Each structure stands twice: as C-alpha cells, then as structure tokens.
Amino acid sequence: MKFGVSRLQRQLFFSALGLILILVLFSLFMIYKAAKNELTGYLREELAQSLPVSKKFLQQRQRYLLAEGQVIANDPRFFAAMVEGDPATAQAEAERFQKIVNADLLLVTGSQGQLLASVMEKTYEKIKETDLAVLQKFDYRDWDGMRALTQGIYQLVQIPLQAAGHGEIGHLLLGYAIDSALAQALKDITHSEVCFFLNRTPVATTLSAAAAAELGHLPEQMTKMEQIHEISLLKENFLVLRRNFEGDLPPQPPIWYYLLKSEDKVIVPLMNQVFRSFFLPVLIGTLVTILGSYFLSMKISRRLEKLVAGAHQISSGNLDFTLPPPANDEIGRLSEAFNQMRISLKNRLAELKEAHAQAMREERLGIVGRMAATIIHDFRGPMQIIQGSAELLAMPDENDEKRKRHSGIITQQVERMANMTQELLDFAKGETRARRVILDIEDLLTEINFQAEELCRNSPVRVDAELKKPFQLWADKEKILRVLMNLIRNAKEAMAGGGEIRVSAFLDTIEGVIQVSDNGPGLAPELAGQLFEPFATFGKTGGTGLGLALSKKIIQEHGGTIQCESEPGKGTTFTIRLPAGKLVAMETPLHSQTGEIII
C-alpha cells in the first residue's frame, strides 16, 4: 500500500474500524432483540385479547341462534306440528324451518324427552341414541353451548316449546356445527389461527391438516389452559393459547379450543422490514463513514507525508525543495506557510553565510595583523643578531675562526626565521593536506631520536626514546614528526639549565599513544588551559606562539587527541593519542577516504 501511512496508523485504523463495527453490530443486535421481544410481547397481548374476542363472537352467535330458535318455537305452525301433528308433519315442519334458519342441527324433544323431529343438515343422518342422551342433558344456560356429538362439535341453544294454553310441550334444540367456516370467521376477527379439537382430533381449523395433527400430538403440559406457550409446528414458531369448553362435564370428550399466532409469519416479515428500512442503512452508513474517513485520513496523511519529506529535505540542507501547489484547505495553507518558511529560511541562510564569510575574513585579517606584529617583534631579535654578526664578519681584524662562528650564527638565525615563516605559512594556509602512509612507530621513533639528538647536541639536555609496544599508524609522517619535534623543542627551550626529554610510545587497545615528557620546571596551572591557543608564547623567545595550536590541528586532522599534564617543579607530559592497531580503518573526519585494511 503506497499510502504513505505508517503500519501503526493502519493497525490503529483497522482496529478502530473493527471495534466500531463490532459496537454497531452489537447495538443492532440488541435493538433487534429488544424489537423482537417487544413484538413478541405485542403478539402475546394480541393473542390474550383474542380469547375474549372469540368468546364474545361465540356468545353473539349463540344469542343469534337463540333468537332464531325463539322465532321457530313461537311459530304457530311449528308449534302446531309438534304439539299435534303426526311424525311426518313434525319432521316436514322441522326440515322446513331448518332450511329457513339454516341451522346445522334442529331437534325437537317432547316433554318426556322423546324425539319429535330431528334434522342434521351436514350429515343427513338420523340422530344417534347416544347423541340424544347427550342433548337431553343439555342445559340451555350453558355459557357457550358446546357439545360433542358423534358427527362433530355443535354449538347449541335450547328453547322451550310453549304456547298460551298449552304449557311447555317440549324443547327445541338448534345448533351450528363447529366447522372450518367458523374457524375462518374466528380467524378473521381475532387475526389468530383457530383450531377446535375433540379430544386430540382436529375438528375445525384454519391450520393445515398436518400442522393441526402435530398440534394434537403436543404433550398436555405444553398447552396449559389459558396460558400462552411457544410451540413449533412444522418448523414454524407459534404462540398458542388453549381453553376447554367442557371442563365441567367429565363424561363428555373434552373440546379444546386453540388460538395460535404464528411468530414467524408476523415477526419475521416485520423484522425483515425493520432490517431493510433501518438496520441496513445504519450498517451501510457506518461502513461508508468509516471507510470514507479512512481514505480521507489516508489522503491527509499522504499530503502531510509530503510536508514531512519537505521538512527532512530542509533539515538536510536542501532549501530548493518545492512542495506541490497548495490546495485551498488547512493542509494547503500549511504547505503554503511551509514554502514561505523555506524561502525565508533560504534567504536568512544566505545572509548568514555572507555574514559568516565576512566575519571569517575579518578574523583572518585580525590574525594576520597580530601575526605581522609578532613577526616584526620576533624577527627583530634574530635580525639584530644577524646584523651584528654581519658587521662583525665585515671587520677586517677578525680571524677565520671568528668569521666561521659569525657565519654559523647568521645561518642559525636565518634557519630560525625560516622555521617561524614556515609555521606562519602553514597556519595562514588554514588547512594542511595530509599525505598519509602506513607508518611504523619504530621508524618514527628512530627518526625522532636522531633529530632530537641533533637538536640537543650542544645543550645540557639529554634525549631518550622508548618503544613499549609497537604499532602502526596511518599518518602523514612529516606532520607527526613536526608535532613531536615541536614538543621536543619546546621542552628543550624550557630546560635551559639541563634536563631529560623522554619520548615513549605504546598501544592502548586501539589507540597508539605517544608521550613526550620532560623533568623541567613545569607549567603554571593558569597557563595549562590556553596552551593550545594560537599566539600563546608564554614569554618564550623565538616562537610564533603557533606551534602547539598547529600541533593540535594536525593531531585532530588525524582523528586523535593531544593533552598536556604538568606539575610545577616536576615536569610536563604531552600525550598524543592516535587511531592505531593491526587493523585500522582509516576515515578522517574532514576527508572521507575509502577504508583500507592494514595487516
């Protein structure tokens, strides 16, 4: 992914995304659950309401039946036929009225309970003896008048047959069969599935035959009276409520009345609708928002990354780095400000460089001025000596020996002046080019020893050299020699009354250490700090004051250090430490060179 976004950023982003998604899904799940519970609650309430509604419906039906029955019972022809007519007339009249009121069962019993006429609409059968016995025991005050007969369940009313002057001559029983039409009617008003059972046999139902059969086989405790249970019929979830119509008539087979509400048919489509109209938009919206913010932040961080790259370029010195043209927003303004900052930085830096160069020039001029004064001062001595010697040389009375001496003095003084001039030149050049070679410390010490003894031949100073542990250096031999000879010369000059100079070298782990020590008067502690500053002569005659400054510069060029330890009255030790060893990778701070393995 070339988004310029760090891995951490991405991880944070995706974990945040995951977390938000989980939270959203969780809250949606909770909402779903709560909604489902609420819906089930409503469904339960509705189912509980269905029972009184269906009760009322059945009562109303019974009242209607009763009204019809009363019309029949009060009809003079019907009454006349029953009270006086022959069986054929009675039966004919019963059939006639059955057709008028369209009842499923019409039965007339005499005052002794004997059957006067009977019509069974649905079956066209004669009523059976057992059914007659059931009906004779029927009490018209029954709440809902449900009776189980051989042919099925009937809702019945009983009306006494009486007329003025005749008394009660018997009873009229009028009934509607409990059939699927009734079940459908009950379903229409209660919006619940309806099922009538005789024992465990479905008699009338709005359920499918298979579902009704399964309902009949449910264990009893699953469907306690007038309590709502959750059951499953043919893998469909239902809330079910059951009541018994004939709980108080034990010899009769029980008539069960089931009211069912399909949770799946109501809740599932509703939840689907809720999901489509609410959950889905929320989910999609969340996803779009998260992804949108992710890509937006990607874009922002890419643009910020360019700013960061620009800052890196600037910090590494590239002030010509140009940021892309700014857009008209916060980041655009930032990059614009960044560009302005870069331009002003560039200008300031140019000014600073200019000022620095100016200062450098001025300083150098100052140094040259001071140098000129020193040279003039220092050159006065040797020049006076040379002048004197030359005058003496010119005298005619001088013998050859004296002339030779004067000539030697002149040579010596010129040499001294030449040295001073060289030092000045070296310093004024500002830099020394090292011509490095593999340098054996042994060779170096031999050379030093030779030169030092030469230097001290006519003086009371003794020189000794010692190599404690050999090593090799990658160094400019001439320059190192000059440094060491400078130190030796200083020591010799400090010990006018005689003394000993000791040069020793050893390998300290990876550093080559060269020490130059004397047993002279030592340095005053206040001088030790300025020892390596240019033009610090400390009252020494015949020096430029540049020797130690130059030495330090050379050693630093070689990647080493130079230190001075001095104790007044006991002597001074200069310690030079240089990178050394059997394996030296040569890399100097100023001049990067390819490394070389030295064996």
Partner 1 sequence: MHKPFLALILLLVPAASLSAGTVEGWLPTFPPPATLQSVERYPTGAKPAMPDTFAKPPVTVVYLVSASGQKPENLEPRSTHPQVAQVNRRFIPEVLPVLVGTTVEFPNFDPFFHNAFSYSKTKKFDLGRYPAGKSRSVTFDKTGPVRVFCEIHSDMNCVILVLENPYFAYSDAEGSFKIENVPAGEYILKVWHKTSEWGSRAVKISEEKPATVDFREDQ
Determine the residue type at 468: K
Nearer to partner 1, 96 or 200 (CB): 96
Nearer to partner 1, 108 or 491 (CB): 108
Question: Minimal distance in Å, beta carbon 96 to partner 1?
Answer: 12
Question: Minimal distance in Å, beta carbon 84 to partner 1?
Answer: 4
Strand (E) or helix (H) holding 352: helix 330-394
Question: Minimal distance in Å, beta carbon 107 to partner 1?
Answer: 19
Residue 398 region by backbone torsions, left for phi larger than 0, else alpha for psi between -120 and 50, else beta: beta
Question: Minimal distance in Å, beta carbon 165 to partner 1?
Answer: 4
What residues line the site for partner 1 (CB under 8 A)? 74-77, 79-81, 83-86, 89, 93, 163-167
CA distance 23 to 136: 70
Nearer to partner 1, 75 or 565 (CB): 75
Question: Minimal distance in Å, beta carbon 124 to partner 1?
Answer: 24
Nearer to partner 1, 72 or 105 (CB): 72
Angle between helical axes of 280-315 and 330-394 (0-180°, round to 10): 10
Question: Minimal distance in Å, beta carbon 92 to partner 1?
Answer: 10
Nearer to partner 1, 48 or 101 (CB): 101
Question: Minimal distance in Å, beta carbon 166 to partner 1?
Answer: 6
Question: Minimal distance in Å, beta carbon 71 to partner 1?
Answer: 9
Alpha-carbon distances of 208 from 91, 95, 179, 219, 242, rounded to whole Å: 38, 34, 14, 19, 18
DSSP characters over 35-53 = HHHHHHHHHHHHHHHHHHH
CA distance 464 to 500: 8
Structure tokens at 353: 């460089």
In eight-state DSSP terms, residue 356 is H
Nearer to partner 1, 76 or 219 (CB): 76
Question: Minimal distance in Å, beta carbon 90 to partner 1?
Answer: 8
CA distance 172 to 103: 12
Residue 218 region by backbone torsions, left for phi larger than 0, else alpha for psi between -120 and 50, else beta: beta
Nearer to partner 1, 65 or 161 (CB): 161
Nearer to partner 1, 49 or 89 (CB): 89
Question: Minimal distance in Å, beta carbon 70 to partner 1?
Answer: 10
Q: How many residues does the chain have?
A: 599
CA distance 13 to 290: 9
Secondary structure (H, E, C), 289-341:
HHHHHHHHHHHHHHHHHHHHHHHHHHHCCCCCCCCCCCCCCHHHHHHHHHHHH
Strand (E) or helix (H) holding 178: none
Angle between helical axes of 477-494 and 547-557 (0-180°, round to 10): 150
Task: Identify whether the C-beta of residue 115 lies closer than 8 Å to the C-beta of residue 136.
Answer: no
Nearer to partner 1, 85 or 170 (CB): 85
Antiparallel, parallel or unpaired: β 511-518 and 499-508 = antiparallel
Hey, is 466 helix, strand or coil?
strand
Nearer to partner 1, 159 or 195 (CB): 159
Question: Minimal distance in Å, beta carbon 159 to partner 1?
Answer: 13
Determine the residue type at 473: L
Nearer to partner 1, 85 or 310 (CB): 85
Question: Minimal distance in Å, beta carbon 170 to partner 1?
Answer: 15
DSSP characters over 226-246 = T--EEEEETTEEEEEEEEES-
CA distance 279 to 25: 9
Nearer to partner 1, 100 or 350 (CB): 100
Task: Identify whether the C-beta of residue 345 lies closer than 8 Å to the C-beta of residue 314.
Answer: yes
Question: Minimal distance in Å, beta carbon 167 to partner 1?
Answer: 8
In eight-state DSSP terms, residue 580 is B
Nearer to partner 1, 167 or 366 (CB): 167
Helix, strand, coil distribution of the chain in percent, nearest 5: 55, 20, 25
CA distance 451 to 446: 9
Question: Minimal distance in Å, beta carbon 101 to partner 1?
Answer: 16
Nearer to partner 1, 77 or 404 (CB): 77
Task: Identify whether the C-beta of residue 472 lies closer than 8 Å to the C-beta of residue 598.
Answer: yes
